[in-house]
Amino acid sequence: MGKEYELRLYVAGKTAKSVTALNNLKKYCEEHLKGKYSIEVIDLLVQPQLAEGDQILAIPTLVKKVPEPVRKIIGDLSNEEKVLVGLDIRPKK
Partner 1 sequence: MPSKKAPFPPKQPMHQLPKTPTGITGLDEITMGGLPTGRPTLVCGSAGCGKTLMSIEFIVRGAIEFNEPGVFIAFEEKAEELATNVASLGFDLNELQQQKKIKIDYIHVDRSEIEETGEYDLEGLFIRLNYAIDSIGAKRVVLDTIESLFSGLTNQSILRAELRRLFQWLKNKGVTAIITGERGEKTLTRQGLEEYVSDCVILLDHRIINQISTRRLRVVKYRGTTHGTNEYPFLIDEDGISVLPVTSLKLDKPVSSDRFPSGIPALDKMLSKGGFFRGSSILVSGTAGTGKTSMAASFCNEACLRGEKCLFFAFEESPAQIIRNMRSIGIDLQKHVDKGLLKFYASRPTLHGLEMHLVAIHKAIKNFKPDMVVVDPITNLITIGSVSDVKSMLVRLIDFLQEEQISVIFTALTLNLVVNEQTDEGVSSLVDAWLLIRDIELNGERNRGLYIMKSRGMKHSNQVREFVISDDGLDLIDVYIGPDGILTGSAREAQVLMEETGQVLHTHAVDFKDRELLRKRKVLESRIESLKSEFESTEAELNKTYIEDAIKKDVLQQNREKLSNLRGKSFYDIDTTKSKNKKSKK
* 53 lies in the binding site for partner 1 (CB under 8 A): no
Q: Which residue, 12 or 38, has its beta carbon nearer to partner 1?
A: 12
| DSSP helix/strand/coil, 74 | strand
Min dist CB 36 to partner 1, Å, is 20
How many angstroms separate the CA atoms of 23 and 31, rounded? 12
* 83 lies in the binding site for partner 1 (CB under 8 A): yes
* 19 lies in the binding site for partner 1 (CB under 8 A): no
* 23 lies in the binding site for partner 1 (CB under 8 A): no
Contact 71, 64 (CB under 8 A): yes
For β-strands 37-43 and 5-11, DSSP reports them as parallel
* 26 lies in the binding site for partner 1 (CB under 8 A): no
Contact 26, 37 (CB under 8 A): no
* 7 lies in the binding site for partner 1 (CB under 8 A): no
Neighbour count for residue 7 (Cβ, 10 Å): 20
**Size of site (CB under 8 A) for partner 1:** 33
* 67 lies in the binding site for partner 1 (CB under 8 A): no
